A and B are shown apart, each in its own frame.
Chain A
Amino acid sequence: MKAEKLRWSGAHLLFIAVMLALGEWLTANRWLDPTFVGQPSGVIKFLWNNIATGKLWVDMGWTMAGTLISFTLGSVAAITVGLLFVAFPKVEKFLDPYLNAMNVMPRIALAPLFILWFGLGLGSKIAVGCSLTFFIVLSSTVAGIRGVSQDHVTLCKTLGASAVTTFFQVTLPGAVPVIFSGLRLGLIYALLGVIGAEIIASEKGLGQSLSYLGSTFEVNGVMALLLVLALLGVSVVRTMTWLEKRLLHWQ
């Protein structure tokens, strides 16, 4: 197993090295214009400088703070509202068309309004991130609870379990897998919302740097930050998968 894993890692490293060398060669010979696509050596140099000066860490810190805060607020609110909907289906029925309308609206369109309301700082980023996370987690919470095994509920009824016991013993654990997949998606969308809002208007963050570098034709910097964002996304997903494996080992 271990040797197999090592071989795969080796293959990936080789592939990346070949791609980088190819890129370097194509741009050095002007087959591709580095003004538009950047140059691997330039990207590495940019990353190195920004890591050294600490600028990258500061940007990443702002973006991650925005993402985590909006994810937390959005999910807590969504799970609360979701539980409320299951307890009072009439409330859900009444609010459904409005929520639907809000959900299908491209939420990033709210960014200008949120920036007006909450300023250029973290507040407006959190507002956009929340607005994305909330609806995803809400629908998965409702779906998760509705999808709980009716056999389990029947069993609880015949045992004479109280509503509280049924909820904590059966409903909640049964709904966790579906809620969790909503949370995973919610976290990715929180990152999307925060980056989007930063690109539109911000003082700090990876999105703001990206927007600035793009408008000053610093393509190496844009490529470097895209790479950072991809790695950030991967590590976010990996963390959620790890957490899921620990929490839902029974699946």
Chain B
Amino acid sequence: MPNDRTSRLLDEFSAVTDAAPSPDIRRFTMRSRFPVATLSAASIIVVVVALAAIVLGRPGPAPTVGSSPAPIVGSSTAPSAPIVGSSTAPTTAPSTPVAAASSRPSGSACNLSARITSWEGAAGSRIATVELTNGPSECRIDLLPRPQLVDGHGKVLIDGAKPGSSGILTLAPGAHATTLVAASNWCKADPQAPISVAFVSSSGERLIAKPVSPTDLTLPPCNGATVPASITMHPWAA
């Protein structure tokens, strides 16, 4: 077989799929109506919750499965709100005001959680999709915190650059936001699993995302030990 890129890719595709474990056959012979049942149950939940919201007359977030209320992107001169709950008012002003001062810092503690929903490969990088979920209170977060790649002990493996001023994202109760975090060039030994990403707010609060799995060891490939490792992220988005 010629040693071209297509052949190498197909060889690797074949090898990877050959190495994948087959599931237990009993999963198919016993869960034959599972998808329908799941869908029916989800549909019932959606209908019941939607009816409840209508009856109670709540204008709050739409309670549909897997959807999230739209967070409000606020432009503010106030410094970024902490990522993890903090009720203290910020004390420093950002160097570059984004807009006229009109919004105020969140007065209630945030109760945020984050999880990595998937890792994807890219040329020389690994990209994590991270979902952020707000708790029962409205919360204001940095649109662009400092990302970090961390090991299972929370030790920082790759530290992102401290962002300049960034906007504020106001999350309604129960709202979700997502971002992509790209890490590249890890040339050291395998660290303690699981690998995850953390976000450090401008006020120093740190939120570590739940990893894909307890044993996940997804690390970016080494592109050269002389090149520094890097990690960047997109702003949080609804």
Do chains A and B interact in one complex?
Answer: no
- Residues of chain B touching chain A, judged by Cβ–Cβ distance below 8 Å, are none
